[in-house]
Structure 1
């Protein structure tokens, strides 16, 4: 059940996770992607538009869209993250809500944004159907963005071991390749004027290491590699980062569209 913006979280968000999210959000590539998503949603050209950021985390996109003139709101299932978002952006409205069941009436939103979310959902198509339901027919806009978890490109001494770790990490997620399917997902849901873009992030320092820790852990947990092999691989990447020789390329995909005229089909 969704809760309104006055709900308090029982526990604080994990400091290390928040630090990682803040570091990623502050990267120039991330800032450029967010700005582009706001352009595709028409935030500045439609002052007062009611726009929802689903999977909002600490609320940075909500705050930025509000600063650009939108009536921006956020939704997330993580109560601790929402508590931090409310602290950071006290003038914004946040909901504890699932992407599959949003606390909005039919056709009440002008924009819907989801960043690095659909790969973790149990049913991306159902989430997008919910997005279509809450968007105003004919004028509501949607923008999906995120990276492809099956396409990490990393310079490493042992490419086969690297591929095994990428596969292991990807296998932990419900839809690791969701981002490459955004365009077709929007088309299948009936959205119009669908537009897709691709960008590549290049990470060359210690900012990449938290991503790679997850790959090493997943490889050992799945039995794909031994703990010794994973540790050797991660030590190599830590050394590369210290020596300014780490190279990680992450393909990001973005797709946007407009809700069609007429009511969304019911299930």
Structure 2
């Protein structure tokens, strides 16, 4: 858990990640005194940031260890253990719904989006944010191996390509007026190497990337889909 948290903290602290989260909050709308559910909240950073912007934010995550970390880090926040496909919230409870880097780990992301529609009040908004695992770009002298490893990682996940489906999932669930943005997260420091170690443990390939990192020549680019729609 500690090693995963270290990688996640490094990624979430990067300026581009901070800016992307801020953009997701903008797409929700006016946060003052609004209720927001942040699904797949992890260690709770977004819940704290939403609260700082005046929202009543509730973080939900299936991982009880992550919820424990969130409660320790943000004692003023509200966090619950819960399933994205069966949220522990009343129908029409929330003004806004946000899910960040979570739908790719679900076997049935469409059910989670339908659940988002259920918990939102009429006129509410949903924002989905996530990476397409099959589109990760890595600068490497071994392009064929790189393609194989990226595809293998994608295929190991329940829904690795769901981000490109966000718009249609929202429409299928009854949302309207979806907007789509694609932002590319670029990593050129030690964070890139930590990300690649989550993709593979193939030593020869990682050795090249480690040399690149030491020589300031590493580059990983991850397309992030950001989609908002009206309930």
Q: TM-score range by the shorter chain?
A: over 0.9
The whole-number CA distance in structure 2 between the counterparts of 1:215 and 1:256 is 28
3-state SS of 1:187 partner:
helix
Unaligned runs of 5+ in 1: 1-13, 218-229, 260-267
Q: 2:215 aligns with which of 225, 232, 243?
A: 243
* 1:31-57 deviation digits (Å, cap 9, x = unpaired): 011001101111xx2411000100000
The whole-number CA distance in structure 1 between the counterparts of 2:199 and 2:15 is 24
RMSD: 0.9
Residue 150 (structure 2) pairs with residue 173 (structure 1):
no
Aligned to 1:144: 128
Q: 2:12 aligns with which of 10, 13, 25?
A: 25
Q: 1:215 aligns with which of 186, 199, 202?
A: 199
Aligned to 1:39: 26
* 1:194-235 deviation digits (Å, cap 9, x = unpaired): 111000111112111122123323xxxxxxxxxxxx311100
Deviation at 1:185, TM superposition (A): 1.1
3-state SS of 1:57 partner:
coil
TM-score by length of 1: 0.85
Q: Which moved more, 1:188-197 or 1:207-216?
A: 207-216
Runs of 4+ residues over 4 Å off in structure 1: none
Unaligned runs of 5+ in 2: none
Q: 1:256 aligns with which of 223, 228, 231?
A: 228
Q: Which has the larger radius of gyration?
A: 1
* Aligned positions, number: 231
The whole-number CA distance in structure 2 between the counterparts of 1:165 and 1:26 is 26
Aligned to 1:102: 87
Q: 2:70 aligns with which of 85, 91, 94?
A: 85
Structure with greater strand share of residues: 2
Report if aligned partners of 2:100, 2:128 keep a CA contact under 8 Å in 1: yes
The whole-number CA distance in structure 1 between the counterparts of 2:27 and 2:181 is 11
Report if aligned partners of 2:134, 2:161 keep a CA contact under 8 Å in 1: yes
